[in-house]
């Protein structure tokens, strides 16, 4: 490793002199020849070619489209020299429980068309085809069932409350709604006798949601309802056209034909391995999710093609002798989001037991038109880990290298794809966010630390416009670098790496200190003390987590202890909490027979196991930095048989903003009544 610092004269307008324009940043954590080898092999263009195949499949969980994407990924992984390449087959039968996930049935759409017709059912000339599955598969809401219906269209507005149906007869008709099909059919079908739904629901709303009126959004029905229903998704332009015509008193007749069914099938996650040289019982995982609507380029063919590129690159560099075989194995997982991961965890406990850390990629290729911000996120406070600092250090390196290159001031490893952009990476190195399979790895049932790379927002997410054309191969190449560098570092991590790691962690900790002090200044004394206690415990916990990978040398322990003493001088020793009383003193432990988070796909474990009778208010709470789903996830994660309710309330308050202990208690009682946790002692 060679560090070269050149004095750079700057004019007052900060334009660097051309002659002094070759600055080089320091390669962190791994040897520079490894970085050079990765930079010489990684190809965003190769990743994009794989992405293009994946985006041609309509990849619903447990469907033929998903299977063809899975078979393709498996074939590529084999051709790249990976071992133990398996396309798994786990029941997707509507009843098997994978921890807190009830398996959904497979769903295979074959055909769907929606036509505007005359009152007698004959087609209008010129023909008006409203929607075609052949044209855009996203037009058919997931879990739609077969139908052949010719009926009038009735505008029910939202269609989610009785007043939307007042004075309207929708029996036997097709309802037009602005809301999600799954939220509309209970009233529209069961109570008012409708026979179909046309929806323009805006799922995954963001600042651009209603601006592209031609975008068609992915829609869903309830997977577990026995009722047979169907829903077509239309663009806002189509929707508004119908609203206007119906308001003007026009009669609109539609002919809907759907061939689709839910049926017992299999989940088909793919796994593959680059074997380790010696620590064969330990593996670093690279994960993504292979499912979603066609094209689904950024969400999430991008993450899947990128981890495949990591696999190709590391496999080739090892085979060519350019890098050594990693000590721990590197396992690659291409699941359907959440469901396949839970099915894998519960079906392959031997593999799961080897997982030491995961690098999860969900949307990592959005080019400028997508408006994406790229993030390299930390783990939750319930799972402090050094792994977060590793991913963010490589993220920061990629930011610096690409920024220097874009500015014309150097950048030795900007990772530019010949087919891609030269824009700097402005990766946000941020706190824990939820939203994909990394939630499962880090859940208290498994506690596998994660590096989460994702784009957010993305103006085209879950629409027919999430296209390969919007994907920047340079961005794929950079995400692949961060993933590959992190995987190799973690796979090779040993005791002697600890001092250099600790110096990276110490500077990251100081940045978090600044943020914590800033937040504390807005809080009450009691909440400020709780925040300080949580912060100090978190920083210490992250350091101690190194021991789960390798022994921490005494000299590093001494440096760290000296740092933590200095830290407490700056924060002040926080006041001890007042003695917990009443419900605040309750201690719960996890029922280890129920593994997984409460929020999974299409299935609500808590509602199902309390017969829908308990709807904890915490889940509707909006805190300073998080909402009910986030509080709920972390409250359960903090349950460990030691923390009392007051401790848990303080910890989630530090993470997401102060919350009333009564809401936390009510939620824990609900979890207890569902058998997820039990009173300890
Ligand atoms: Zn996704």
- As averages over each run of 10 residues, the pLDDT of the chain (681 residues) reads 38 43 75 97 98 98 97 98 98 97 97 93 80 97 97 98 98 98 97 98 88 95 95 98 97 97 97 97 98 98 98 98 98 98 98 98 97 97 98 97 94 95 96 97 98 97 97 98 98 98 97 97 96 97 98 98 97 91 96 94 91 86 96 98 97 97 97 96 70
Q: How far is the CA of 334 from the centre of ligand 1 (A)?
A: 12
Length of the chain: 681
Strands 83-87 and 90-92, bridge-based pairing: unpaired
Q: How far is CA 104 from CA 91, 231, 285, 309, in A?
A: 9, 19, 25, 31
Q: How far is the CA of 375 from the centre of ligand 1 (A)?
A: 14
Answer whether CATH 3.50.30.30 is correct for domain 108-263.
yes
Q: How far is the CA of 455 from the centre of ligand 1 (A)?
A: 9
Q: How far is the CA of 343 from the centre of ligand 1 (A)?
A: 18
Distance CA 177, CA 185 (A): 10
Distance CA 273, CA 635 (A): 34
| Residue partners of 503: CB distance under 8 A and separation at least 6 | none
Distance CA 168, CA 171 (A): 9
Residue 493 tokens read as 């991590």
In terms of Cα–Cα distance, which of 342, 338, 256, 332 is closest to 292?
Answer: 338
Distance CA 382, CA 363 (A): 25
pLDDT of 28: 93
Q: How far is the CA of 364 from the centre of ligand 1 (A)?
A: 10
How deeply is 152 buried, as exposed, middle or buried, from its count of CB atoms within 10 A (0-12, 13-18, 19+)?
middle
Q: Do 155 and 176 form a contact (C-beta atoms < 8 A)? A: yes
Distance CA 498, CA 542 (A): 13
In terms of Cα–Cα distance, which of 454, 432, 457 is closest to 202?
Answer: 457
pLDDT of 24: 61
Q: How far is CA 142 from CA 101, 338, 509, in A?
A: 18, 16, 44
Q: pTM of this prediction?
A: 0.95
Q: How far is the CA of 292 from the centre of ligand 1 (A)?
A: 8
CATH number for region 18-82+90-103+267-492 = 3.40.630.10
State which residues have CB under 5 angstroms from ligand 1, the bound ion: 299-300, 362
Q: How far is the CA of 289 from the centre of ligand 1 (A)?
A: 7
pLDDT of 599: 86
Q: How far is the CA of 143 from the centre of ligand 1 (A)?
A: 19
Q: How far is the CA of 299 from the centre of ligand 1 (A)?
A: 5
Distance CA 336, CA 66 (A): 8
pLDDT of 615: 85
Q: How far is the CA of 300 from the centre of ligand 1 (A)?
A: 5
Q: How far is the CA of 549 from the centre of ligand 1 (A)?
A: 29
């Amino acid at each position: 490793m060679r560090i070269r610092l050149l004095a750079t004269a700057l004019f007052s307008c900060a334009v660097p002199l051309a002659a002094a324009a070759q600055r080089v940043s320091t390669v962190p954590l791994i040897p520079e020849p490894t970085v050079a080898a990765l930079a010489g092999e990684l190809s965003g263009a190769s990743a994009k070619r794989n992405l293009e195949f994946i985006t041609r499949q309509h990849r619903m969980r447990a469907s033929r489209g998903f299977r063809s994407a899975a078979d393709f990924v498996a074939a590529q992984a084999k051709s790249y020299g990976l071992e133990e390449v398996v396309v798994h087959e786990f029941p997707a039968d509507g009843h098997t429980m994978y921890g807190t996930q009830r398996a959904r049935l497979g769903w295979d759409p074959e055909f769907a068309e929606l036509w505007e017709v005359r009152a007698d059912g004959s087609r209008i000339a010129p023909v008006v085809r409203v929607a075609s599955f052949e044209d855009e598969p996203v037009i058919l809401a997931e879990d739609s069932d077969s139908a052949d219906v010719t009926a009038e269209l009735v505008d029910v507005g939202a269609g989610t409350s009785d007043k939307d149906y007042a004075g309207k007869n929708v029996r036997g008709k097709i309802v037009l709604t602005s809301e999600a099909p799954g939220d509309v059919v209970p009233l529209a079908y069961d109570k008012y006798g409708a026979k179909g739904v046309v929806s323009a629901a805006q799922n995954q709303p963001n600042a651009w949601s209603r601006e592209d009126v031609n975008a068609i959004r992915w829609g869903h029905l309830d997977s577990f309802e026995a009722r047979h229903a169907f829903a077509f998704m239309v663009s806002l332009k189509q929707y508004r056209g119908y609203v206007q015509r119906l308001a003007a008193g026009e009669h609109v007749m539609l002919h809907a034909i759907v061939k689709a069914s839910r049926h017992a099938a299999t989940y088909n996650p793919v796994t593959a391995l680059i074997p380790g040289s010696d620590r064969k019982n330990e593996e670093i995982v690279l994960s993504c999710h292979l499912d979603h609507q066609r094209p689904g380029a950024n969400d999430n063919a991008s993450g899947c093609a990128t981890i495949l590129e990591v696999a190709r690159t590391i496999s080739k560099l090892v085979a060519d002798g350019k890098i050594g075989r990693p000590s721990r194995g590197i396992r690659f997982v291409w699941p359907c989001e959440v469901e396949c991961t839970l099915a894998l965890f519960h079906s392959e406990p031997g593999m799961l037991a080897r997982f030491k850390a995961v690098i999860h990629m969900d949307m990592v290729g959005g080019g400028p038109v997508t408006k994406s911000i790229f993030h390299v996120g930390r783990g939750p406070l319930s799972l402090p880990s050094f792994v977060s600092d590793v991913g963010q250090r490589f993220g920061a390196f990629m930011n610096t290298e690409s920024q220097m290159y874009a500015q014309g001031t150097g950048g030795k490893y900007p990772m530019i794809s010949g087919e891609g952009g030269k824009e700097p990476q402005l990766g946000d190195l941020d706190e824990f966010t939820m939203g994909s399979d990394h939630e499962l790895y880090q859940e208290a049932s498994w506690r596998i630390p994660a590096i989460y790379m994702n784009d957010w927002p993305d103006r085209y997410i879950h629409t027919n416009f999430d296209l390969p054309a919007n994907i920047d191969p340079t961005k794929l190449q950079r995400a692949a670098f961060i993933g590959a560098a992190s995987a190799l570092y973690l796979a090779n991590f040993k005791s002697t790496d600890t001092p250099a790691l600790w110096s990276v962690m110490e500077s990251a900790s100081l940045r978090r200190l600044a943020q914590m002090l800033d937040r504390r200044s807005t809080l009450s004394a009691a909440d400020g003390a709780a925040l300080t206690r949580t912060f100090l415990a978190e920083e210490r916990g992250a350091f101690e987590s190194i021991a789960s990978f390798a022994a921490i040398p005494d000299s590093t322990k001494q440096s760290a202890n000296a740092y933590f003493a200095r830290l407490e001088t700056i924060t002040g020793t926080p006041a001890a909490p007042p003695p917990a009383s009443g419900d605040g003193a309750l201690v719960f432990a996890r029922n280890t027979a129920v593994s997984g988070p409460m929020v999974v796909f299409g299935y609500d474990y808590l509602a199902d196991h309390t017969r829908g009778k308990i709807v904890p208010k915490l889940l509707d709470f909006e805190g300073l930095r998080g909402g009910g789903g986030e509080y709920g996830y972390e409250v359960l994660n903090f349950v460990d048989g030691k923390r009392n309710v007051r401790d848990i309330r303080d910890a989630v308050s530090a993470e997401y903003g102060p919350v009333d202990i009564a809401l936390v208690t009510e939620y824990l009682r609900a979890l207890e009544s569902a058998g997820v946790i039990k009173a300890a002692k």
